[in-house]
Amino acid sequence: MLAQQKPTAGTTTFTWGYENELLTSLEPDGDLVTMTYDGDLQRRQRVVGATEINFLWDREQVLMELNAAGATAARYTLAPFGYGDLVSQRRWGVSSFYHFDALGTTRRVTAADESTQLTYVRDAFGVGIASTGTTTNRFRYLGKLGYVQEDTLAGALLRRRYYQYEIGRFVSRDPVYEVGVSEYGYVRNRAAAVSDPSGRHQEGNIIGGLLLGAFIGAGEGRLTCCDEEGRYHTVVYEKFCLGIGTGGSIGIGGAWMPQDGCPDKWTGGAFLECSLGVPAFGPVALEPAIGVWPPGSTGSFGVGIGFGWSCAVCGYAVENDVASAPRDPRCGPYEYRDFPRIPPEVLDRYPPTNYDPSRVEWHA
């Protein structure tokens, strides 16, 4: 872990806790910055000299900042997602609204009258190129996801760890160690496509890159039908898919066979099936599955919750024992003589044509 940094302005010395949390930072000018954390290692307090800032969290999001007297210094409005999606801040009664680039870095902060208060230009790793304005703002690089500016490190707090812009690395080890991966590396140097709002592992691409996964699936369904000759069948429908997708989901689905009569003994085909998650409640989304089917064959549907998208190439097969299926009174009009030993319960439910119960004698 970083113990000292020595820029041209002087030496800054850091001390760390036993769980790799940054406790103090002694600035070249003698100012001591002290950090306090809760049991979940979320930073609850930052003290510099006589200035104390207390942070109120809602799970992974900073909702408010309070001063030493408990007065609200700033209140943040965020979408109800897991990490950030910052909308605005209200600091000492003055509202400011955030505008982000495609990566999620703050590019502009405007006042309620739409005048510009702040502007930023940064590269993909967060290094500042240009800025204007003096309004207090703690969410700059990837501010949309809740990266909190930390001037002591010339970097940002990513909830669990601190990240430095100039070196493009964390200053403490990754608590979720992965063999063969640098303990200090940031998103494997793919900052233009991937983020790490938790400070523990990289998150999915927030600007359109893909974290792909392959999957296979299979299912079986059964239906009953009558053919033109009055025979009753049990038809087995088998489906199997191979595809790719992003994110994850869980759901339910089904299939139907919109055709007249019963299918042939063996029929089959292939089709393309896709689903797209549209965010509804944070990362949770409804995912309708849409199948493109050969004409006159089968159909299916699916509804789930999740995020991301998936596409699969699927095949299906239909098995039907046509040759062995007998005629059955459930399959349309018939005469009583066709089934001289029909059970009474079937006879009552599926009566033959010209049926008169008073003239029929049942023979076991």
Give the pLDDT score at 30. Answer: 84
Give the pLDDT score at 360. Answer: 47
Mean pLDDT, the chain, rounded, equals: 74
The least confident of 34-38, 78-82, 334-338 is: 334-338
What does the pLDDT look like over 220-267, one tens digit per residue?
Answer: 666 667 666 667 667 776 767 676 665 555 554 555 554 445 665 555
Give the pLDDT score at 274. Answer: 60
- The CA-based dihedral angle spanning residues 226, 228, 230, 232, taken in that order and rounded to the nearest 10 degrees: -30
Higher pLDDT, 190 or 97: 97
Give the pLDDT score at 281. Answer: 39
Is it the case that residue 75 has pLDDT exceeding 90?
yes
The residues with which 302 forms a beta bridge, in sequence order, are 253
Is it the case that residue 134 has pLDDT exceeding 60?
yes
What does the pLDDT look like over 293-311, one tens digit per residue?
Answer: 444 444 554 545 455 566 6
Decide: 156 and 191 in contact? Cβ < 8 Å. no
Residue 278: other Cβ atoms inside 10 A: 10
Q: Name, of 75-84, 204-213, 291-300, the range with top average pLDDT.
A: 75-84
Q: Name, of 134-138, 208-212, 282-286, 339-343, the range with top average pLDDT.
A: 134-138
Helix (H, G, I), strand (E, B) or coil at 6: coil
What does the pLDDT look like over 183-207, one tens digit per residue?
Answer: 888 988 889 888 888 888 755 433 3
Q: How far apart are the first and last CA of the chain?
A: 90
Rg (CA), the chain: 33
Contacts of 105 (CB under 8 A, 6+ apart): 120, 122, 126, 140, 141, 142, 143, 144
What does the pLDDT look like over 24-59, one tens digit per residue?
Answer: 988 888 889 999 999 889 999 999 988 999 999 988
Give the pLDDT score at 263. Answer: 60
Give the pLDDT score at 208. Answer: 36
% of the chain at pLDDT higher than 90: 31
What does the pLDDT look like over 110-124, one tens digit per residue?
Answer: 999 999 999 999 999
Mean pLDDT score, 151-176: 88
Selection from 66, 105, 72 nearest residue 86 by Cα: 105
Is it the case that residue 289 has pLDDT exceeding 50?
no
DSSP string, 242-270: EEEESSEEEEEEEEE---SSPPPSEEEEE
Decide: 147 and 197 in contact? Cβ < 8 Å. yes
Q: Name, of 27-41, 179-193, 268-282, 321-335, the range with top average pLDDT.
A: 27-41
What is the pTM for the complete model shown?
0.56
| Number of residues written out for the chain | 364
Give the pLDDT score at 190. Answer: 87
